[in-house]
Structure 1
Amino acid sequence: MFKKILVANRGAIAARIIRTLKNMNIAVVAIYSEADQHLPYLKLADETYELKGSIAKDTYLNQDRIIEIVKMSGVDGVHPGYGFLAENSEFSKRLEEMGVKFIGPSTKWINLMADKNQARQIMANYSMPLGKGSSILPDDEEEVKKIAAEIGYPVLVKPANGGGGIGMLPVYEESKLISTVERAKNTSEKYFSDSNVYLESYFEDPRHIEFQILADAEGNVIHLYERDCSIQRRHQKIIEESPAPNISFKEIEKIGEQVQQSIQQIGYDNVGTVELLRGKDGNYSFLEMNTRLQVEHAVTEEIIGIDLVKAQIESAAKIPLRQTSRQN
């Protein structure tokens, strides 16, 4: 087990992680910006270090300064929380090269799942339910039209390295396809510094169901059931609930087992969330996989009755999974 862990985050998630670390008798190193120096959770830490500056790139995104603190404090693990550096493969790789454990999935999985189109292609090889889609769209407009026709309208144009629903645009007819693809490319380049986009079948009025996954270093995987995040505004989740309303437990168990088997086959090794769309016909399609603890992890904790942060840390420490089940 870890002796000392640095929490590379702030606010609610930093406080959340620190509570678990204290319960596990693991020493805590906290970092803070000038603006955060009076936040109450810092008093719970065994050591605190200041990040000079007031904006994210100088503080919680400043890899060089955080790694300097890692060296000074002598920690053997870093928990990134969510946001900031939680899915930054460069950061996790730098820690690994120092012999310090990044508490999350291995760098390989952060890289592979960051590209949504690449993630779809991987999952297609491992029995994950998947709607029709394309690879990265070429520049040839006629070829793009041909690809869309093969998928069937309506289609959804999506940034390959996007997130938060930014740049996702539906297309209902061929006459609007090329102009919409160009709009999506421009948006993707602006927000993600990557203009690559691809096409998926567009699910109208879908349910958005995500499965919490927990895996260990030995290849064991369990799913911790579903969260329904269908209530959204501009592709941003507003409400997360579990169990998913008006979907039978039998159906959830069936699709959950399928997701679990797929993730086990690829060799994933820590906490993750598999997001799926459920069409009106009851069919599911893989959307993406998030390689981090999510903001909404507490919904699952209430249903399952386990501490997901603790489970993450135990998995990172190569402690095998213990089976769990939904509470009554």
Structure 2
Amino acid sequence: MADVKMIATRESYGNTLKALAAEGHDDLVVLDADLAAATKTGVFRKAHPDRHFDCGIAEANMMGVAAGLSTMGYVPFVSSFAMFAAGRAFEQIRNSVAYPHLNVKIGATHGGISVGEDGASHQCCEDFALMRSLPGMTIICPADDVEARAAVRAAYEMQGPVYLRFGRLAVPVFHDEANYHFEIGKGEQLTEGSDIAIVATGLMVNEARKAAETLAAEGIHARVINIHTIKPLDEDIILKAARECGRIVTAEEHNVIGGLGEAVCSLLSEKLPTPVRRVGVQDKFGCSGPAWDLLKEYGLDAATICKTAKEMLGR
């Protein structure tokens, strides 16, 4: 495992914006809220200073500026921490972006508990819930660098509002870029298995992969599904897993209320009732500490996924 690359998806975000601009996409502009060093849009600003706008610590106003730019034919990527992008500016996103269905892309970095030492005030575990409630909002949470770069490109190419969540923490790159295909709204099956399905998003996808390896050593064959698009949800891949596996564990770095787990439960309760257990933040606020220690403390790890799966199987 020593040669596995570790890259934070916020790095992928900044690098892809720079690459898109270099490829001649002259309508792409980037807005930030005095956080360009942290959101990694600073690399775009350095290369294209005339197309980067620092709106200051005023996310609500920044959303309005982005909405206006989109009506002039630009494709604005609005950047801030998830807590401020989704939380502080929710009303402006609702009324100025989602309601008129404008072509604004929200690049929300520092999502989840893995923000670490910044503590509860910055650890946004409610953003999926907030954004899922908005009609027409696409929500993407990539699992690694390869997927994050593909997600930014896909968001640029589609019409309409998109919420992209990126992490502060460097995570393993497990996708093979040469053979990887990203499609908004389509999940990805990573492992074969029919004993139980693990449906994960973001950094929990790699934890699900690790859990599947541990379970396999104990004779339990887990199907791992990567759901990079929270909304629209890939219903087909989840219903297929429910039919063929009979039990599902969801895993997300988000409150179990309002996120991926709840989306999966809503789907299955209506179309194919199936036992589901949700691994995630159990309706608590975060606290300050080293990121990996916090993830373990809050049960956002492979060990908790394994334990949950075995409990469901009576093992």
TM-score (norm 1): 0.31
Structure ranking higher in helix proportion: 2
TM-score (norm 2): 0.32
Q: Which has the larger radius of gyration?
A: 1
